[in-house]
A and B are shown apart, each in its own frame.
Chain A
Amino acid sequence: MSDDIQELSNKSQLDNDQYLTFILSEEEFSLPIIHIKEIVEYCEITPVPLVPSFIKGVINLRGGVVPVIGLAERFGMEAGEITKRTCIVIVEIEHDSEVALMGCIVDKVLQVRDIEDDVIDPAPSFGSTINIDFIKGMAKIDEKIVAILEIEKILSVEEIAIVREMNKNKENATDDAD
């Protein structure tokens, strides 16, 4: 019985070891594939007014409305030009036992690869190109350092609350503009 459980957790451990790597502003990042539902080609995004600029809008994903954020903008980086390789990575975010979908714009998707836990170092306390809160760890792959992103943080509830706050401020600003 306990062996089974052991085996199961080993298995999920295995899944956890797989990461999708992608390019964002010429830099390589990765996400655990366990969070990724699918990858779709870049398509027309309907902008939503009165939200922070990193929320690019919404797309129609087979009849469902999925919000899309620009990961680069989220990290305060320059957004890459939209090319043929631009993709939207659809991730699943769990909150209050509800699973919400969210799209992240990335410049280019590279591959799915295994990254062993022992080559992942904790995030450096400084010196990284993006907010270290968003980084789960740094992985050494082929002599390169790839940041593994913490998707829950990037799209966390607190962040959403901040998003709301911002949008309120913005609303007030527009009110004043009237």
Chain B
Amino acid sequence: MELDECVQIFASESKELLEDMESALIGLEKKQNDPELINQIFRAVHTIKGSAGLFGFEDIIEFTHVVENVLDDIRNCLISVNTDIINIIFQCKDQINLYIEALISESQVDEEESKRLAELLKTYQNGEQEQNAAEELQADSSCPLTPFAETNEQDETSDKKPAEKDHYFHISFYLGEDSFRHGFSPKVILDQLRDIGEIISVTPHLDHFPNIENYCPDACYLGWFIIFNSDKSKQEIAEVFEFLDESSYHILPPETSVADFQKMISELPEDEYKAIGQMLIDIGSLTEKELNDALKANLETGELTGKILVSQGDVQAELVETALKKQAQVKQTKKNAISLIRIDASKLDTLVNLVGEMVISCAKTGRLIKKYSDEELTESASEMTETLEEMREVVLGLRMIQLTGTFNKFHRVVRDISSKLGKQINLEISGGETELDKSVIDQISDPLTHIIRNSIDHGVEMPEERISAGKESVGKIKLQAFHETGAICIKVSDDGRGINRNLVIEKAVRKGLIDSNKKYSDKEILNMIFEPGFSTASEITDISGRGVGMDVVKKNIESLRGTIDISSDEGKGTEIKIILPLTLAIIEGFNIGVADQSYIIPLDMVVECISVDDLITEEIHRKSYIKLRDEVLPLIDLQQFLALDEVTDTGKSRKNIVVVSYSGKKAGLIVDALYGEIQTVIKPLGRIFEGIAGFAGFTILGSGSVALIIDIPALINNAITQEHKYFNELSATTKKVKSNNEKIAEV
């Protein structure tokens, strides 16, 4: 159970890292030699590899290791950055992402793909390594055969020089006195070393030989000092010595890598306090065994571990120093950093729900208190309401996250698709810092992807076409987000060819979506794009054009209580505007009464309320619309629509019309009573009521009773389908009225 949670955290952290990596990769395409970006990519892979190691996810480790190696070479300028390798790393990033997703879904990853990518990466590495080998051959003749007591001094000087690419390890080891008696030969070690690298030189150490009186002829007093060339890590080399129990051995990593190691230390994440030894192990300059030995010595002698490590010859003094500095720095950042806590989203949801409940019970208490008209009580209640209001805002704020993450993903989408199609497109993003409810953000990503794909595929033209149209060859797609009167607006616009109305009509007719003889307004034509089964691309590509797009997009956005609007200038571009509510949990509602029941209409859709006087009542009875300020206002009688029984004991039979508007369409709802504004916590309809059109959810009123929230878009759409009928009736009634009038005149 706990492990599961850890894996979850690992997965979500890795995903974040991969996102960073992707944005860095995109940046790298533009600034191919920015070391900071390369480091960022390297760090991401390195951290994932490290964390995967904690859990023992061998496949991830294996794959990330290969990627990391190549990235390391890039970092050390051994491999030059070009578009090809960036492409491969992009694919590697996707592959790592697949691994992470497979962890969550407990599925399998296509190992073939990993192998393919690993092979690709290796070709890069090998190409470079051959070069290295050549360089090393040249360096061989001048190879220093100094005992390592002196190498420390050398390190300091070589540090200041730019890193040369020799990989010489300095290994010293003593076999135990008993080794020969056990039949152990040092040749085994040398043979094994030869398997994993090249022995440059072997120098025996004779300083363990005792005085002649203590000398035992079958004891082994020998030690060796080896200069060893290998691309293996220190840990891997140490494995050769691992099974020697009594022997003591020290491996000093390549001298020139001190600078690299120092860099690695400085790049270790700053959010975690680590012991120095652990840091050194992390960067690979120390093995666990060496650290354990040093720690033991520390216990025995009381000397500082770092000093022991240096005196044992396991690490260079500079490294310990750098690690110490880093440690201090981490301590500092720890203090300064805003402490972030990862919280299960469902806990947040519960909190939001609870606060919602409190809002309800507070309203109820307030209502009760009014009855007693006690001053103190009223005052205390209003204080409570105020605090609660504040609390509600804070709690809702907890769920708000920035759009940046979602938006930045589109760089990749644009990049991949446009290069596939041979188009040149720049994506401009603004307003990424706009915050939206997490649940909205989660659901907005897919529709946006679809819209952007459409823009790339259908909107922006090929470079030649653009030039001949007098535009810049590089197309532009703008992704913007901003606040707009209590809602969030997301706009996707391109400067492409726009929407060809004639094509749309032609297509719609062919698909049997519209009547070819009828005249349609510009808006209606554009909105045909949202019809199911509509697709204008004459050729179906794998990017878009399957005709299952915009209708789904529209549906998704409407399910978020949002609206989508399209405008397009032919030849100049298309703009798609999505308006979303800030949050899904609580809305300002308008409480109305129909047939003795309370219903809620979302307040932002209410335009005005009109009381129906007798004259209009007459009008309503005859037809389903009224004329309001020279505009025809279609009416929906809620009581009829909801098939409710007519209230019999209507003391005042005066009805009201609530004018609502939704994406530019207006309608009048005939209701019995107006109760005023109310804050409502939306509760989902639940499975049993899911199928009912016309309702968006439930809410609990201050009185404790449940009220239904009316789904205005569904209601209006219903009205629109009946519009035709209305107008038919309209002409029928006018005729009737006329003939009636004529009759009256005759009489």
Interface residues in B488-546 by Cβ distance below 8 A to A read: none
Known: A65-B698, A175-B722, A178-B624. A49 touches B644 (CB 8 A): yes
- Per-residue CB contact flags for chain B residues 700-714 toward chain A (1 = under 8 Å, else 0) read 100011111000000
Q: Are A46 and B722 in contact (CB under 8 A)?
A: no
Tally A-B pairs: CB < 8 A.
73
Query: Of B642, B683, B704, which contacts A49 at CB under 8 A?
Result: B642
Q: Cα distance A60–B688 when bound, in Å?
A: 16
Q: Are A65 and B686 in contact (CB under 8 A)?
A: yes
Known: A60-B705, A63-B360, A100-B686. A163 touches B643 (CB 8 A): no
Find chain B residues with CB under 8 A from A170 CB: 643
Closest B residue to A49 by beta carbon equals B642
B647 on interface, CB distance cutoff 8 Å: no
Q: Are A46 and B706 in contact (CB under 8 A)?
A: yes
Q: Are A60 and B722 in contact (CB under 8 A)?
A: no
Query: Of B640, B692, B704, which contacts A174 at CB under 8 A?
Result: B640
Known: A49-B642, A178-B624. A168 touches B691 (CB 8 A): yes
Query: Of A50, A95, A163, A178, which contacts B642 at CB under 8 A?
Result: A50
Query: Of A46, A100, A175, A178, which contacts B687 at CB under 8 A?
Result: A100
A102 on interface, CB distance cutoff 8 Å: yes
What distance in Å separates the Cβ of A29 from its nearest Cβ neighbour in chain B? 21
Q: Cα distance A163–B692 when bound, in Å?
A: 10
B372 on interface, CB distance cutoff 8 Å: no
B641 on interface, CB distance cutoff 8 Å: yes
Q: Cα distance A5–B393 when bound, in Å?
A: 49
Q: Are B687 and A160 in contact (CB under 8 A)?
A: yes
Find chain B residues with CB under 8 A from A48 CB: 689, 692, 695, 708
Find chain B residues with CB under 8 A from A1 CB: none
Closest A residue to B695 by beta carbon equals A48
Q: Are B687 and A95 in contact (CB under 8 A)?
A: yes
A47 on interface, CB distance cutoff 8 Å: yes
Q: Are A50 and B705 in contact (CB under 8 A)?
A: no
What distance in Å separates the Cβ of B523 from its nearest Cβ neighbour in chain A? 26
Find chain B residues with CB under 8 A from A95 CB: 687
B693 on interface, CB distance cutoff 8 Å: yes
Q: Are B687 and A167 in contact (CB under 8 A)?
A: no
Q: Are A46 and B705 in contact (CB under 8 A)?
A: yes
Q: Are B692 and A51 in contact (CB under 8 A)?
A: yes
Q: Are A46 and B707 in contact (CB under 8 A)?
A: yes
A118 on interface, CB distance cutoff 8 Å: no
- Per-residue CB contact flags for chain A residues 39-52 toward chain B (1 = under 8 Å, else 0) read 00000101111110
Q: Cα distance A51–B686 when bound, in Å?
A: 14
Closest B residue to A171 by beta carbon equals B693
B690 on interface, CB distance cutoff 8 Å: yes
Known: A102-B688, A164-B691. A177 touches B706 (CB 8 A): no
Query: Of B597, B683, B688, B725, which contacts A46 at CB under 8 A?
Result: B597
Q: Cα distance A102–B687 when bound, in Å?
A: 11
Of the listed residues B640, B641, B691, the one surrounded by the most CB atoms of chain A closer than 10 A to its CB is B691
Q: Cα distance A60–B357 when bound, in Å?
A: 11
Q: Cα distance A65–B624 when bound, in Å?
A: 34
Interface residues in B621-675 by Cβ distance below 8 A to A read: 624, 640-644
Find chain A residues with CB under 8 A from B704 CB: 60
B694 on interface, CB distance cutoff 8 Å: yes
Q: Are B698 and A58 in contact (CB under 8 A)?
A: yes
Closest B residue to A69 by beta carbon equals B688
Q: Cα distance A59–B704 when bound, in Å?
A: 9
Find chain A residues with CB under 8 A from B683 CB: 64-65
A137 on interface, CB distance cutoff 8 Å: no
Q: Cα distance A46–B691 when bound, in Å?
A: 18
Q: Are A177 and B688 in contact (CB under 8 A)?
A: no
Closest A residue to B699 by beta carbon equals A65
Closest B residue to A58 by beta carbon equals B706
Q: Cα distance A177–B725 when bound, in Å?
A: 12
Known: A100-B686, A163-B688. A178 touches B722 (CB 8 A): yes
Q: Cα distance A171–B694 when bound, in Å?
A: 10
A55 on interface, CB distance cutoff 8 Å: yes
A67 on interface, CB distance cutoff 8 Å: yes
Q: Are B688 and A50 in contact (CB under 8 A)?
A: no
Known: A60-B704, A174-B643, A178-B624. A47 touches B688 (CB 8 A): no
Q: Cα distance A175–B693 when bound, in Å?
A: 12
Q: Cα distance A100–B624 when bound, in Å?
A: 40
Q: Are B688 and A160 in contact (CB under 8 A)?
A: yes
Interface residues in A7-42 by Cβ distance below 8 A to B read: none
Find chain B residues with CB under 8 A from A63 CB: 353, 356-357, 360, 700
Find chain A residues with CB under 8 A from B695 CB: 48
Q: Cα distance A6–B173 when bound, in Å?
A: 61
Q: Are A167 and B691 in contact (CB under 8 A)?
A: yes
Closest A residue to B639 by beta carbon equals A49
- Per-residue CB contact flags for chain B residues 345-381 toward chain A (1 = under 8 Å, else 0) read 0000000010011001000000000000000000000
What distance in Å separates the Cβ of A88 from its nearest Cβ neighbour in chain B? 13
Q: Cα distance A55–B706 when bound, in Å?
A: 15
Q: Are A177 and B707 in contact (CB under 8 A)?
A: no
Q: Cα distance A168–B642 when bound, in Å?
A: 12
Closest A residue to B354 by beta carbon equals A63
Find chain B residues with CB under 8 A from A65 CB: 683, 686, 698, 700, 706
Find chain A residues with CB under 8 A from B725 CB: 178
Closest B residue to A57 by beta carbon equals B706
What distance in Å separates the Cβ of B321 from its nearest Cβ neighbour in chain A? 56
Q: Cα distance A147–B295 when bound, in Å?
A: 75
Closest B residue to A175 by beta carbon equals B722
Find chain B residues with CB under 8 A from A163 CB: 688, 691
Q: Are B706 and A60 in contact (CB under 8 A)?
A: yes
Closest B residue to A174 by beta carbon equals B643
Find chain A residues with CB under 8 A from B640 CB: 174, 177-178
25 A-B pairs with CB atoms under 8 Å apart are A46-B706, A46-B707, A48-B708, A49-B643, A49-B644, A49-B692, A49-B708, A51-B692, A57-B706, A58-B698, A58-B706, A59-B706, A60-B705, A63-B356, A63-B360, A65-B700, A160-B687, A163-B688, A163-B691, A164-B691, A167-B691, A170-B643, A174-B640, A174-B643, A178-B722
The 3 closest A-B pairs by CB, nearest first: A164-B691, A49-B642, A46-B706
> CB within 8 Å of A: which residues of B?
353, 356-357, 360, 597, 624, 640-644, 683, 686-695, 698, 700, 704-708, 718, 722, 725
